[in-house]
Amino acid sequence: MKSAVIVFPGSNCDRDLAVAIRDVSGIAPTMVWHGDTELPDGLGLIALPGGFSYGDYLRSGAMAARSPILRAVIDAAERGVPVLGVCNGFQVLTEAGLLPGALMRNAGIDFVCRDVSLTVENAQSIFTSRYAQGEKITVPVAHHDGNYFADDATLDRIEGEGRVAFRYDGQVNGSARNIAGVINASGNVLGMMPHPERRIEAAHGGTDGRRLFEGLLELVGA
């Protein structure tokens, strides 16, 4: 699977994401700088990493969402190219308008950094096909601004359309309806606060994150 990882100044999970994708697909992603304006052709996945792009200035993900490369990412997403945003990547996707809602400061103020239990709410998406519907998985979180917010009408709509991919089992950061990951209407964009790239080999304490990348590879192809 040909893929790209977007690198923003301040991102610190870009390499983790690249290693995970390379390990699963056998092909190292192209690392694309935020100031570039074009993406490689024929991508099966565009990944937006976690970290603190632009130092989280103004709002988490706000500057990255207006960076030159995001125009190309938005165009690709609208053409149906799969896009995965993890943590800060999720924040960037909401700020860019590719996903509904916004991510606010954690309700408990603390930075949350630990393993959390998630329920797979939709196992039909290109990102979740290797999971069972309703399966409990364990994936780490590490964030300060993971408190998902959207108005009730939006929450009702995304729940009704099966666009909640993952839900926290219990309170983690104050997220509306414990939402941990959201898919767009076309089904090709996923944003999630937990870090699947930090759960891909036994040495990480588990491999629950690995199946996300395996499922993508299977469905998107080599």
**Residue 101 near other proteins by CB under 8 A:** yes
| Whether residue 197 lies in the annotated active site | yes
**Residue 174 near other proteins by CB under 8 A:** yes
On whether the CB atoms of residues 191 and 93 are closer than 8 A, the answer is: yes
| Whether residue 143 lies in the annotated active site | no
Least Å distance, CB 216 to other proteins, is 28
**Residue 113 near other proteins by CB under 8 A:** no
Residue placing its CB nearer to other proteins in the complex, 1 or 155 = 155
**Residue 53 near other proteins by CB under 8 A:** no
Residue tagged active-site, from 13, 34, 95, 197: 197
On whether the CB atoms of residues 95 and 61 are closer than 8 A, the answer is: yes
**Residue 74 near other proteins by CB under 8 A:** no
Residue 114 token pair: 């630990």
With CB under 8 A as the contact rule, the residue among 28, 35, 58, 222 that binds other proteins is 58
- Read off φ and ψ for residue 197, nearest 5 degrees: -70, -10
Using DSSP, state whether 99 is helix, strand or coil.
Answer: coil
Residue tagged active-site, from 13, 34, 87, 121: 87
Which amino acid is located at 27 in the chain? I
On whether the CB atoms of residues 210 and 21 are closer than 8 A, the answer is: no
**Reduced 3-state DSSP string for 20-49:** HHHHHHCCCCEEEECCCCCCCCCCCEEEEC
Q: What string marks each residue from 114 to 153 as x (binds other proteins by CB under 8 A) or -?
A: ---------------------------------x-xx---
Least Å distance, CB 100 to other proteins, is 8
140 forms beta bridges with: 115
Please give the size of the binding site for other proteins, defined by CB under 8 A.
18
Least Å distance, CB 119 to other proteins, is 23
- Read off φ and ψ for residue 119, nearest 5 degrees: -105, 130
With CB under 8 A as the contact rule, the residue among 27, 31, 62, 123 that binds other proteins is 62
Separation between Cα atoms, residue 201 and residue 206, nearest integer Å: 6
**Residue 178 near other proteins by CB under 8 A:** no
DSSP β-ladder status, 3-7 and 45-48: parallel
Residue placing its CB nearer to other proteins in the complex, 107 or 222 = 107
| Whether residue 195 lies in the annotated active site | yes
On whether the CB atoms of residues 180 and 168 are closer than 8 A, the answer is: yes
Active site residues: 87, 195, 197
Residues that bind other proteins (CB under 8 A): 58-59, 62, 66, 94-95, 101-102, 104-109, 147, 149-150, 174
